[in-house]
């Protein structure tokens, strides 16, 4: 017998039009599972049993680090049961990449954790939630998914958690990696992998201090000064992700501010505002060369949204200097 627990958190997959205005999360995990039979998508075979649990009923744009932490701890609790073979987490697509990052950096179990969601709600005439949930359950139940870590199943594709971004607001398959393709695919009821996922050395689950970390993001652009960087520091940020132009070039005012921040013990990560490609330390004169010399850690090709979660995890467990060393070692091992 293969037992899969479906853990619902809300999101578009559970949202319906509300009299209060707009679409809002409503359906529970049991509702989502029940809808599978309505759509003829409950063909999991006699050997698969489903359980439903709810950890939240929210649209993910309202999630805090505390919400992400609660999801991670609930997943770990479920995997503490020997009778469970995999977990499916339904989640809003807006901030799914952050939850994927937290789970991806802390997952320490051969059994799969599979996230999925929807771009169109269940009361939409062409809702995609039931198909995505069907595919996610099949993926979680497949023996081939063991040791593949944390996965996203969406639009018939299987992706590894880390490096993933939501790249489109409305497309049926909005997710993609900055520097890689899909890990596998679901065709009908069959799960097929093209490659083995690379999973990092797991970090401990988030502690209470994780929820209190303030890691802000500052964008570089023509005419950008250091006002937003200084505002983040004044607000108590323990970490800041600076998104430079091109390959990670913030400009002179921000590189000066990075030096001030790191001198105060603030962890600074250097990302890029572009949609693909790694941070590359090429240019001086306010470019990435100066930012790194000022103490910023290049985020390689990890999306800034996911690097922010890693930074909060490290800062919640280590001193700023130790967090910096660990961030650099994880993202830039060749140096």
Residues designated catalytic: 12
Rounded CA gap, 285 and 137, in Å? 51
- The 10 Å CB-count burial string (b at 16+, else e) for 40-60 is ebbebeeebebbbbbbbbbbb
Rounded CA gap, 59 and 13, in Å? 10
Helix (H) or strand (E) holding 35: helix 29-38
Spatial CA neighbour of 44 closest among 82, 96, 6, 89: 6
Q: 331: which 2 tokens?
A: 């993202």
CB neighbour class for 264 (10 Å; exposed up to 12, middle 13-18, buried from 19): exposed
Rounded CA gap, 335 and 333, in Å? 5
Instruction: Check residue 251 and give left, alpha or beta (phi > 0: left; psi -120 to 50: alpha).
Output: left
Rounded CA gap, 4 and 78, in Å? 10
Looking at the DSSP assignment, which residues form a beta bridge with residue 239? 215, 267
Which residues, 6 or more positions from 116, have their beta carbon under 8 angstroms from its beta carbon? 13, 88, 89, 90, 91, 132, 133, 135, 136, 152, 153, 154
**Rounded (10°) CA dihedral 113, 117, 123, 126:** -110
- Count of all residues that appear for the chain in the document: 335
Helix pair angle (252-263, 227-234), 10° resolution? 20
Spatial CA neighbour of 163 closest among 179, 182, 147, 152: 179
């Amino acid at each position: 017998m293969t037992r899969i627990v479906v853990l619902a958190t809300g999101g578009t997959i559970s949202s319906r039009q509300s009299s209060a205005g707009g679409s809002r999360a409503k359906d529970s995990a049991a509702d989502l599972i029940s809808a599978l039979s309505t759509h003829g998508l409950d063909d999991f075979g006699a050997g698969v049993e489903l359980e439903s649990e709810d950890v939240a009923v929210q649209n993910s744009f309202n999630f805090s680090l505390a919400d992400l932490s609660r999801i991670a701890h609930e997943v770990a609790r479920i995997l503490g049961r020997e009778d469970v073979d995999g977990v499916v987490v339904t989640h809003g697509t807006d901030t799914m990449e952050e939850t994927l990052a937290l789970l991806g950096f802390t997952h320490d179990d051969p059994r799969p954790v599979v996230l999925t969601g929807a771009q169109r709600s269940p009361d939409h005439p062409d809702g995609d939630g039931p198909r995505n949930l069907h595919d996610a359950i099949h993926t979680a139940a497949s023996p081939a998914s063991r040791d593949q870590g944390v996965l996203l199943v969406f639009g018939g594709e299987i992706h590894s958690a880390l490096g993933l971004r939501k790249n489109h607001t409305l497309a049926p398959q909005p997710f993609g990696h900055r520097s890689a393709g899909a890990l596998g695919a679901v065709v009908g009821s069959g799960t097929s992998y093209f490659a083995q996922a690379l999973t990092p050395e797991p970090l401990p689950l988030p502690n209470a201090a994780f929820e209190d970390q303030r890691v802000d993001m500052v964008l570089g652009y023509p005419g950008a000064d250091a006002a937003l960087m200084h505002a983040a520091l004044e607000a108590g940020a323990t970490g800041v992700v600076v998104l430079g132009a091109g390959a990670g070039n913030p400009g002179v005012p921000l590189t000066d501010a990075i030096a001030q921040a790191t001198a105060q013990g603030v962890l600074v990560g250097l990302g890029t505002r572009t949609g693909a490609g790694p941070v590359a330390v090429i240019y001086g004169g306010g470019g990435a060369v100066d930012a790194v010399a000022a103490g910023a850690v290049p985020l390689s090709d990890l999306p800034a949204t996911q690097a922010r979660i890693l930074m909060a995890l490290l800062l919640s467990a280590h001193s700023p200097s130790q967090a910096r060393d660990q961030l650099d070692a994880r993202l830039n091992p060749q140096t």
